Homo-oligomer: A and B are copies of this chain.
Amino acid sequence: MKIVFASTNRGKLREASEIFEGFEIVPISAFSAWKSPDENGSTFLQNAVIKAEAAAKAAPDSIVLADDSGLVVPALDGAPGIFSARFSKEGTDAANREKLIAELSGKSDRSAYFVCAAVLIFPDKTVLAAEGRCCGRIIESCRGNNGFGYDPLFVPDGFDKTLAELSENEKNAISHRGRAFRKLLTFKGSSL
């Protein structure tokens, strides 16, 4: 069976393929009707739903998958949150990281967590969504060359390395996205 993923990011597509074992993960770019939507929700879940509905419109007979992720820093009242990719004016990874370092300067609470909201929409319009988190702390300067975004500043709980110093396999094992995807896969409706 196929799952159409509303992403063109190769790392994400690979991660989804590993977790949704037995499914063929197809990028939404394979569907010419796909139009990237305006992600104007006010939560990760809302933005993931917006993306998933846009994908379902472009691929109406498929199971579609979408996610929205970001970094939440309690000492910054939850920022950068849903604005993680556009935290700084420039909106580049480097500028976003610099802003984060500056805003946390002198703060004693450097705890932070990555959040991923992942959404599946089935052809009958049933929807399943789940949240995954990866908790850790923000260090004072960048370390490591893997990953992207805030990874070089983020040390996950139980590790001494930043996410950018971990291998892709090590990172996927603890990632917020992987956790959200696995929750989708194991949901059996048993809560009701």
Contact = CB atoms under 8 A, between A and B. Distances in A.
Interface of A: 41-43, 45-46, 49-50, 53, 63, 119-120, 122, 124-131, 183-185, 187-189, 191-192
B191 A189 contact: no
Contact of A126 (B42, B49, B130): B130
Contacts of A183: 124, 126
B127 A130 contact: yes
A127 B129 contact: yes
B46 A191 contact: no
Nearest to A187: B189
A49 B66 CA distance: 15
A191 B126 contact: yes
Contacts of A188: 188-189
